[in-house]
Structure 1
Amino acid sequence: MNNHPAVGVEMRGLRRSFGQVKALDDLDLDIRPGELVALLGPSGCGKTTALRVLSGLEELDAGTVSVGARDITHTPPNKRNMAMVFQSYSLFPHLTVTGNLDFALSMRKVPRGKRQAIIDEHLELVGLIAQRDRYPHEMSGGQQQRVALARALASKPDVLLLDEPLSALDAKVRVQLRDEIRRIQQELGTTTLFVTHDQGEALAMADRVGVMQAGRLEQLSTPRELYERPATEFVARFIGDTNELPGVVSAGGVLVMDQWVPALPGSIREGRGTALVRPERVTVTACEDHVDGGAGKMATVRQLSFQGDHAVVHLAMAESAQELTAFVTARETAELAVGTDVLVGLDPLPVLVA
């Protein structure tokens, strides 16, 4: 199934205030044709306002919005050729699955004779062709959200908007539908903006992830780049887990735990600072396995939490009151136990120093 050619989105200098609160503060955001961009950030950061501005449901105080070569800043929502999937399924309870899609297509003025083929095509896409005659109350939450997705895509929108569409589902269904949405989006090549509070969803689904704070975009990067090379202290602290370790910066690197590691761009240039180190970059070695001459600082295992494929180890440094968290493989936990002494070190990978 092929959609019409994908288009890009350009949002320039967006400003929107509610009283004294700046929901969008000179925001710039680009979405490439066929790309899925996810917006993350704390409550009130402006991510939902940005999505609503793109949809036309929120007016701007200043700025421009373009889709393809067309300026749609002042275009009403029903003329923007966009479709939105919300957290709530928003299905008509008195209509069947087919009826819900048929009504949406009729509102788009799709000729009656063409609707059934389009409906069948999109129900097949989301795996619900066998449930076409069911009513919403006869379906699970995951199935209802698939209907909402099929309804949105049936109109062949230029841009698909996803407003926390998975947050009402239980964990297992959420992961399944997350993967389904990503598969369908890639298959169709529909340009998509996805707003979520769930970091795992954003990192798993998006081509690029934007982290917002106070109406501004802190960083827009691939999931790997965002996690491994955060551009700002806020991003480093907000995405994933970090250890905050004292260090001294000089010559483009930082001396931390008696090891020298490179400092990422955006770090302080010189002097004392705090190195933000991911837990998986902390190495933990049982004392009896330690090779003489290798780097390592003595620590004590305070807590061990088994997570299936890995374990979280909470450590207390012997030379200070510093606490440290490490992620280790499940196999490595066989030689670790609460109260035992270990040697810890750092992988020599770049870190951000604040």
Structure 2
Amino acid sequence: MRDLNRSFGTVRALRDFSLEIHPGELVALLGPSGCGKTTALRVLAGLEEADSGTVLVADRDITALPANRRHMSMVFQSYSLFPHLTVEGNLDFALSMRKVPRPERGAIIRDHLELVELGAMAKRFPHELSGGQQQRVALARALASRPDVLLLDEPLSALDAKVRVQLRDQIRRIQLELGTTALFVTHDQAEALAMADRVGVMQSGRIEQLSAPQDLYERPVSDFVARFIGSTNPLPGRVAAGSVQVLGQWLPTLPGSIGEGQGTALVRPERVLLGIGEDGHEATVRQVAFLGDRASVVAELTDGTTVQALVHTRDADRLSHGAPVRVSLDPSPVLVS
């Protein structure tokens, strides 16, 4: 997608939006509501027409092609299954629309239902399936026609947490197994970071940063990305010669940071260290929240500044409310805005 623009009245949904997806890659678009991620997906699918810009697949310009000639398949948030057709009937209808010869359809349907582990439910109707099973049927239907690009429009948001994680992992496994090129739109950071080869964080119709999940989290290029992805502690600091002084420590700065002077260092909670010895600043534990294998600890420094730290649960037992601690920082690079 090159230099796409799309407006709805006075609202500019896409602003010179560009994105290249490599063959077999899964790219996720992530961002706040109204940032343009769903519009970008719909323009790629041919469901929206861009005001300007081009869409190419394998160097072929498909900008003017209607949706039914783009050879793409979409999985929606709603399952969009035909209620009067069985599971295999839903897949058969999709294949017939792709003009797949009838003698070939049976084997394709069986293979793809086995792929999503629903081979035994081919004769059931959608109302006889759970939400997660219905979404797996929708995925099998989308993949059965072997699309050039698989489009996923928040397909897991209607499911409960445990099923969402299971289906998330299954989609990724199948996508890798088939080598399908995919664009995934979600508002869920965990989904994007867990599933995608690269994640594009969008703001105001543009991609602010497009990176591998680990790079996106550890090396954000802007204040918006750093604050949007995960949690941060905004701490005052002084920048000089590529380093920032925060809580009395000098830390290297990331590209995109201010060059010098006073700024705000965005420190991840897992980079905040809590100890009992002589090192670090005096602080008092104000809150401890159990998060499974980790615990979130909020500590207040003597000057009133609060910091959040992530610690292993086994280390949180001694960090009850009101307990004295020492706060220091891991010497990892930080972004300073």
Fold match (TM-score > 0.5): yes
Identity between Structure 1 and Structure 2 (%): 71
Residues 260-307 of structure 1, C-alpha deviations (whole Å, 9 max, x = no match)? 00000000000000000000000001x2xx1x5x4x011100011111
* 1:308 Cα deviation after fit: 1.3
1:323 aligned to 306, 311, 320, which one? 306
* 1:69 Cα deviation after fit: 1.7
1:54 aligned to 32, 36, 44, which one? 44
Q: Which residue of structure 2 aligns with residue 231 of structure 1?
A: 221
Matches within 5 A, 1:271-282: 271-282=261-272
Q: Which residue of structure 1 aligns with residue 317 of structure 2?
A: 334
Q: Which residue of structure 2 aligns with residue 303 of structure 1?
A: 287
Q: How many angstroms apart in 2 are the aligned matches of 1:94 and 1:158? A: 29
Counterpart AA for 1:350: P
* 1:28 Cα deviation after fit: 1.0
RMSD of aligned residue pairs (Cα, Å):
0.6
Q: Does 2:86 correspond to 1:86?
A: no
Counterpart AA for 2:295: A
Matches within 5 A, 1:3-42: 11-42=1-32
Q: How many angstroms apart in 2 are the aligned matches of 1:83 and 1:176? A: 22
* 1:336 Cα deviation after fit: 1.3
2:123 aligned to 112, 133, 145, which one? 133
* 1:73 Cα deviation after fit: 0.7
> Residue 204 of structure 1 aligns to a residue in which SS?
helix
* 1:218 Cα deviation after fit: 0.2
* 1:334 Cα deviation after fit: 2.1
Q: How many angstroms apart in 1 are the aligned matches of 2:150 and 2:292? A: 35
Residues 24-58 of structure 1, C-alpha deviations (whole Å, 9 max, x = no match)? 00011111110000000000000000000000000
> Residue 316 of structure 1 aligns to a residue in which SS?
strand
* 1:123 Cα deviation after fit: 0.3
Q: How many angstroms apart in 1 are the aligned matches of 2:255 and 2:48? A: 36
> Residue 215 of structure 2 aligns to a residue in which SS?
helix
Q: How many angstroms apart in 1 are the aligned matches of 2:207 and 2:291? A: 33
**Structure 2 unaligned blocks of 5 or more:** none
Q: How many angstroms apart in 1 are the aligned matches of 2:283 and 2:105? A: 67
Q: Does 2:86 correspond to 1:96?
A: yes
Q: Does 2:102 correspond to 1:112?
A: yes
Q: TM-score, normalised by structure 2?
A: 0.99
Q: How many angstroms apart in 2 are the aligned matches of 1:189 and 1:204? A: 17
Q: TM-score, normalised by structure 1?
A: 0.94
Counterpart AA for 2:25: E
Q: How many angstroms apart in 2 are the aligned matches of 1:314 and 1:72? A: 52
Residues 198-233 of structure 1, C-alpha deviations (whole Å, 9 max, x = no match)? 000000000000000000110000000000000111
Q: Does 2:336 correspond to 1:353?
A: yes
* 1:321 Cα deviation after fit: 1.6
